Amino acid sequence: MPSYTVTVATGSQWFAGTDDYVYITLVGTEGCSERTLLDKPLYNDFERGAIDSYDVKVGEHLGDIVLVKIEKKKYWMQDDWYCRYVTIKTPCGDYVEFPCFRWLVDDKEVVLRDGRAFLPQDDKTSIVKQHRQKELDQRRKTYRWKEWQPGFPLSIDANKHRDLPRDIQFDSEKGVDFILNYSKAIENLCVNSFMNMFQSSWSDFADFEKIFVRIKNTISEYVMEHWKEDFMFGYQFLNGCNPVLICKCTKLPDKFPVTNEMVSVSLERDLTLEQEIKAGNIFIADYDMLEGINANPTDPYTQQYLAAPMCLLYKNLRNKILPIAIQLGQDPDENPIFLPTDGQYDWLLAKIWVRSADFQHHQNVTHLLRTHLMTEVFGIAMFRQLPAVHPAFKLLIPHIRFTIAINTKAREQLICECGIFDKANATGGGGHIQLVQKAMKTLTFRSFCFPDMIKSRGMDSTEELPTYFYRDDGYKVWEATKSFVSDVIHIYYTSDERVQEDEEIQAFVKDVCSFGMQDFDHCEFPKSLKTRDELIEYLTVIIFTASSQHAAVNFGQLYLGMYPDEHFIEKPVKDAMGKFRKELAEITRSIKRRNEEKKLPYYNMSPDKIPNSVAV
């Protein structure tokens, strides 16, 4: 009587184990096993982190094992179980791997394909075709689109985190991690002691220093020492948390009437302002998106204010970017132009207003919209249109980890009515909604392609801007990511026709555009892909947005290139992952060497600091 050895791995996260009954059914090309209880006498099966093996005897050889059906039934109370994978050893001694990485909740069953990736056109038997379609049908019922706010990208249909499918909820460690990090932040900022500072006017700049009294590291101390200086103000446009707004100025806008007489004292090359513009030494940051956004009276009803400033910046002879003119509104008739030659505190306050506007743009547009909300769009479409056996699903799933969960938490607690934004942020009380809606009107697919985004702002020349480390490091990580994606795609797609024939990848792309982005014409998201190059770029955009771009404006946990859940089992893909990790390691070393002698090192795009996904 043939015997198959079944090995089952339980997750190592908290509460992953179960005391419920677990049954298995093996489905082969020549037959199907009986439904078999996996249980060893006097043994506690399926404990957290355990790897358990069982013998399943059958009446006759089953042929190639194509599906594994796992069922969980209640023992004495419902007990969720996280299954990592199942491995089958056949009577011939062959091993077949079946990745799972899913929670079995209540009396639930899962049916698993073996770990090899297949395109839909490569499935030839009715049993695997039906399994593939059934998985997608169920996913589309589970992962539904919903409009949270008009003009926003669509999000998941769930009002609270607990309403999400169990597979995409935070695990227990992640929940505790949030609490600990929040507590640590409170401790570092001494918020309990200084909360009143955020809700009333400060009387002295020394109050600002008190906020950071508990944060001690070389960079923070250097910033505290120099934060009032122009070079530090300019540096943040290149390598701060919002390095995506500064543009090369090719012509002064009429609404910002800076004259040569105003700024000549700040220019160092014996050139006029117009000549400096032609020489490529003038840059501009325009916060016009904040124009007309309603300011918020924060808790306890302290009126806040918003500016929509413009800032003219100059690259001096030492290649430092310095502010030379600031206008705090879009209408020149109502807003004077502030200059470095003005009074010390007039100029400092003008810079503070610009930095305040930059904070609002960063939090609402650069961070919330362009990383969090957009990654959620890609994630929902992925779950709805790509089965677990699809290579693109295996490629993307590590980069979607916890994104939908953190966004649902944000809608539940942070950006909702009476949430933290309303209580503590000048764009709360609806201003943040207006700002995202306004930003959506200019958002395009090409703006997510890192090289295009840099070039569109005229910031691509390393000779003109040798200290734009966000650009330099971003180029390297983009190319390494694109190379990795290309290696994987060429394993499964041997021609452009294979892309065109893949109905699932086409449905995925269409779902993003037609539902996630609501078919906004100005967004120019593709509705189909015709070539491998187009597919490679599209998937690179998703991975880069969810990992590297988010890292440049925020930080997280599992780092780029780390894939603890082995969704791919094929050796060529694992080789590509190894190559990717080596390239990332070399980029990390080069960034470390560059930073060694810098007073202000830039690590935000260092691969060893880049989280895999938008998870915080």
CA gyration radius, the chain: 27
Instruction: Please state, in angstroms and rounded to a whole number, the distance separating the CA atoms of residues 535 and 509.
Output: 10
* Exposure string for 458-494, b = 16+ CB within 10 A, e = fewer: bbbeeebbebbbbbbbbbbbbebbbebbbbbbebbbe
Structure token digits, residue 81: 């179980």
Tokens of 17: 């184990």
| 3-state secondary structure at position 367 | helix
161 labelled binding-site residue: no
Whether residue 533 is annotated as binding a ligand: the answer is no
CB 426 within 8 A of CB 364: no
Cα separation, 164 vs 105, in Å, equals: 13
Q: What strands lie across the sheet with 51-57, from one edge to the other?
A: 51-57, 3-10, 81-89, 95-104
Residue 382 dihedral angles phi and psi, to the nearest 5°: -60, -50
- The residue behind tokens 């892909």 is 529
How far is C-alpha 379 from the chain's CA centre? 10
331/309 Cα distance (integer angstroms):
10
Does 361 belong to an annotated binding site? no
Which residue is associated with the tokens 């770990």?
115
Q: Which residues contact 203 (CB under 8 A, 6 or more apart)?
A: none
Total residues belonging to the chain: 616
SS (H, E, C) 151-192: CCCCEECCCCHHHCCHHHCCCHHHHHHHHHHHHHHHHHHCHH
Ligand-binding annotation for 131, yes or no, is: no
DSSP state of 318: T
Q: Annotated binding residue at 367?
A: yes
Token pair listed for 265: 């004292």
**CB-side exposure of 111: number of CA atoms within 13 Å?**
19
Cα–Cα distance measured from residue 344 to residue 583, given in angstroms and rounded to the nearest whole number: 48
> Residue ranges for the binding site for Fe cation?
367, 372, 550
> Residue ranges for the binding site for Ca(2+)?
17, 39, 79-80
> Residue ranges for the binding site?
17, 39, 79-80, 367, 372, 550
